[in-house]
Chains A and B, each alone.
Chain A
């Protein structure tokens, strides 16, 4: 082959995202390039470093392609946070398409100017997994909770929880040792982290989702630019809006089997009614307002970003 690309990411090869999104994507590119592109896959941080370093690795060319969370490096990708605000995301496929579209409109020349973005998506609706039952906002009072990003940490702090910062792999041990009483993650990864064995309560909010986290599949800019045009085209054909939407939809589809397993274990899965959710929405609203204010203070039009994000999500959700 002409080009060998190293794809580096943090999950083991058999996890949902590598197995169902990244591998098929890479296989397809290899096939469509008729073997001229080879994508070497390095799961579980095999090329060294920690997950927050993935973004630097792709910028510096340590890896050619990485899959990571912008939220792992707080402060660096402020605009992506708009999709993480409470009660924003609808169907993950739609939100992912909106994320890609807003990305094209506002982020590629700003937040993502150092990388070639191949895909932008969000996971299925995030929910609260807790040892003690949580139904109303007041049940969160003083609960030690691990959240994935700056925005979600801020939200749970406002809701009365005590946010605990720890990397995702530390969640099982944290739960079993009482370092945390609760965590928020989508269903899709609960099995891998053994969460249903460590807690007995799961609180669902329906749609819009309480929160989602954003992902990015990124390529080294010089590496992309150096490709011959026909190979660039192979990459482009497999990236962008459609790919992002499908990736988001796939992650949401991977939620159901894990949810079923938690029920099988005898855990309690509570889905709040619309009236019950209203209280949460009200309590979480200041988080979005504060975010808008913060962005505006940093010289971005926070209100416009938020309005556009919501508009795009609605638009894609209707189709």
Chain B
């Protein structure tokens, strides 16, 4: 079970990371296209080699249409996909200076308590995201330039949020089982790097 959840959390993070990488590439291509377009329009190139300038523009080179909205849709999915790994590795920022005076067991109980609340909130977020998606489907809202339905982005994010909910529920349960049975089911919390 733990192996499966870990695999799921990592797979989602990597999927999100690949999307993020794709957005990096998309943005670079758009910047490059825009740069060439500006060069084609520049007085410098028009004066130097008008044929080349016209040929450059004739290729239709320019920024990627709708790059802003694609980045926005893509990055929402990426971040929802990053949530399971954040849950699994216990990477949320916390302050433990005051609780460090308590016994290790008391600390484990406190962590497990918040883990349950966190799981509940992530489930709430997922449920509300589902409602939001239905709104967007009903209203037929589209993106600005490419005019794809806004709910597509919601749907992709919802998929990741459902996985995040499952992982969060597992983590909350596992923390309590750890306390009761003394068995180790979760990796030790590691401070996130930011």
Contacts and interface: CB of A to CB of B under 8 A. Distances in A.
Q: Among the interface residues A73, A76, A142, A179, which one has the most CB atoms of the partner chain B within 10 A?
A: A142
Contacts of A75: 139-142, 147, 149
Contact of B62 (A73, A144, A178): A144
Interface string B139-159: 111111101010000000000
Given A73-B139, A76-B140, A162 B37 contact: yes
Interface in A150-188: 150, 153, 162-166, 178-179, 181
B34 A165 contact: no
B61 to A, nearest CB: 9
Q: Among the interface residues A56, A143, A165, A166, which one has the most CB atoms of the partner chain B within 10 A?
A: A165
A162 B147 contact: no
Contacts of B144: 74, 150, 153, 165
Contacts, number: 55
B40 A76 contact: no
Interface residues of A, number: 20
Contacts of A150: 142, 144, 147
A164 B63 contact: yes
Interface residues of B, number: 22
B80 to A, nearest CB: 17
Nearest to B43: A132
Interface stretch (B14-22, B65-73, B98-106, B160-168): B65-73
Nearest to A75: B142
Contacts of A181: 38, 41
B145 A73 contact: no
B91 to A, nearest CB: 25
A74 B69 contact: no
A165 B34 CA distance: 14
B141 A76 contact: yes
A74 B141 contact: yes
Contact of A142 (B40, B65, B66): B40
B63 A162 contact: yes
Nearest to B41: A142
Contacts of B62: 142, 144, 162
Contacts of B38: 178, 181
B145 A144 contact: no
Contact of B37 (A73, A76, A142): A142
B37 A144 contact: yes
A143 B142 CA distance: 24
Contacts of A76: 139-141
A57 to B, nearest CB: 12
Across the A-B interface, give the 8 residue pairs with the lowest CB-CB distance, nearest first.
Answer: A75-B142, A165-B144, A165-B145, A76-B139, A75-B140, A165-B68, A74-B142, A73-B141
Given A143-B41, A163-B145, A178-B34, 16 more contacts: A56-B135, A73-B141, A74-B143, A74-B144, A75-B142, A75-B149, A76-B141, A132-B41, A142-B41, A144-B62, A144-B63, A150-B147, A153-B144, A163-B65, A166-B68, A179-B34
10 contacts: A75-B142, A142-B57, A143-B41, A144-B63, A150-B144, A150-B147, A164-B63, A165-B69, A165-B144, A165-B145
Interface of B: 34, 37-38, 40-41, 57, 62-63, 65-66, 68-69, 135, 139-145, 147, 149
Interface of A: 56, 73-76, 132, 141-144, 150, 153, 162-166, 178-179, 181
